Amino acid sequence: RKLGYAIVGLGGYGLGIIIPQFKNCQHSKLVALVSGDPVKAKRVAAEYGVPERSIYNYQNFDSIKDNPDIDVVYVCLPVSMHAEYTIRAAQAGKHVMCEKPMAVSSKECEAMIAACKKAGKKLMIGYRCHFEANNLEARRRARAGEIGKLRYFRSEHGFTAGNPNSWRLKKAMSGGGSLMDIGIYALNAARYMTAEEPIAVYAKETTDRHDPRFREVEDMIEFELEFPSGVIASCMSMYSANQNHILLMGDKGRIDMEPGTRYDGNKLWVGQDRSNLITPAPGPGATQWSGQLDHLSLCVLNNKEPIVPGEEGLRDIRIVEAIYRSAREQKRIALI
């Protein structure tokens, strides 16, 4: 059976990336839209065969509870709205896929987890790289010991932020700057590649506060994570240059990915340098997104926990909070 998804937020990601992916899914289909723009919603509904009765707006959102076609609500909204729509969806009796970063604070993440638990509904975070073939291959090879004992992880993620009025550059809507939006890929990868949880962080932020884009949020932040095994992860995110790279250094070789976490075109080398380009084994879905969507559907159908549940989003946000604190107080912060 295919589970029915309602997409909340018809923006760059919800409309541009997620909606076209249902055609690649085996267990997931698009059945409803939630948008503040009725003209756009009607056009998208017609294009994707969504009935007009299944178009909702932010005011009548809660009436999704009366629509049995909707099994899952996929929250593709600015970060400050993730908690509200996740909690309202759970209260309407729906499972939830929520985009990354999970929320603007760990307190909100905890409330989201509690609401889904109380409603007996699944909560998964949109960490698509856990379904991306190159990332899965890299992780498999690292765990199989192909590069020996892992000593060092490095990742830089950035893009050039444009419009100063974008919600991404408003602290109240984004919760923070490049770290929240794109640095979270480096942070999450440091955790899934090492299979360890960091015990301490140290961070340094540098931002040109005269740049109209960066009045409220950081541009560049460098953060170091200490892992129990002795591995150090050195990560950086920025809003003033394009960069997308993951590197694992072991005592017998390296795993290098550039780009590492893009929508497509990711590349993976394993060995001493970049001479051995790897073709990864196929991921779980035809694309990283269909793998991600169908994973949640199968978890619902088989009553299993998603591999990237709300708790995974919460772990990252707790570390993000420690990173910001470290940068602010200019000191190492021990975790737990």
Catalytic residue status for 185: yes
Applying CB under 6 A, among 3, 6, 7, 10 the residue interacting with ligand NAD is: 10
- What 3-state class would DSSP assign to 181? helix
Q: How far is the CB of 128 from ligand NAD (least distance, A)?
A: 5
Per the residue annotation, which of 29, 94, 100, 121 is the catalytic one? 100
Sheet holding 95-98, edge to edge: 55-56, 28-34, 3-8, 72-75, 95-98, 123-125
**Candidate ranges 6-14, 131-139, 234-242, 323-331; the one touching ligand NAD (CB under 6 A):** 6-14
Looking at residue 241, the DSSP 8-state letter turns out to be S
Q: For the segment 51-80, give every residue that binds ligand NAD (CB under 6 A).
A: 76-79
CA–CA separation, 55 and 47 (whole Å)? 13
Catalytic residue status for 23: no
* Residue 173: partners with Cβ closer than 8 Å, 6 or more residues away: 78, 79, 80, 81, 167
Is 306 among the residues that bind ligand NAD (CB under 6 A)? no
Per the residue annotation, which of 185, 192, 202, 239 is the catalytic one? 185
Is 20 among the residues that bind ligand NAD (CB under 6 A)? no
Q: How far is the CB of 40 from ligand NAD (least distance, A)?
A: 8
Tokens at residue 96, please? Answer: 């939830």
Is 157 among the residues that bind ligand NAD (CB under 6 A)? no
Is 12 among the residues that bind ligand NAD (CB under 6 A)? yes
Which residue has tokens 């879905």?
Answer: 285
Is 260 among the residues that bind ligand NAD (CB under 6 A)? no
Is 327 among the residues that bind ligand NAD (CB under 6 A)? no
Which residues are at the interface with ligand NAD (CB under 6 A)? 9-14, 36, 76-79, 99-100, 126, 128, 167, 181
